[in-house]
Amino acid sequence: MDGPALSGWERRLLEEIESDLRQDARLDRKLSTMGAKRPSRVLGTLRSAGHRVSAAVVLTALVMTAICLSIGVRTPTTAVLTALGVVWAASVAAAVATSELLRRRRGTRRAESVDPDRPDREEGRERRPWDRPEAGG
């Protein structure tokens, strides 16, 4: 807690208020069970999938689905539908692979970037005029 500690009178007053509030059983039960609810498995799965799948992959899948459906509805032969399925799967797989490659490359760049708060990693960083105390007056 920031600031000065409570005085003895303030502590006694606070304890009296807390004891009065604890006597209300309904309020005490509500306050004791008011914590965060346990997240459901479905929401956790969707949230983790959202971290893994980028918006570009979803957009690619939606666009390719629309294109393949429009072509498949016009000429619904087995050969066309098979070819469309292969093209759709390949385009979504390419989008996933590209997204993963870019994510890894971005992660590598972040790991290699220089943290200005760590002086042991300053060797690759150019010193600016405001970084040099000897340059100032």
What is the share, in percent, of the chain residues with pLDDT greater than 70?
A: 71
**Cβ atoms within 10 Å of 84's Cβ, excluding its own:** 19
Average pLDDT, the chain: 78
- Is 17's pLDDT higher than 70? yes
Q: What are phi and psi of 62, to 5 degrees?
A: -65, -45
Q: Are 72 and 66 in contact (CB under 8 A)?
A: no
pLDDT digits over 40-87, tens only? 777 777 777 666 778 888 888 999 999 999 999 998 899 999 999 999
Burial class (CB in 10 A: 0-12, 13-18, 19+), 71: middle
- Which range is least confidently modeled, 12-16, 31-35, 112-116? 112-116
Tell me the pLDDT tens digit for each residue of 121-137: 545 556 665 555 555 54
- Give residue 130's pLDDT: 57
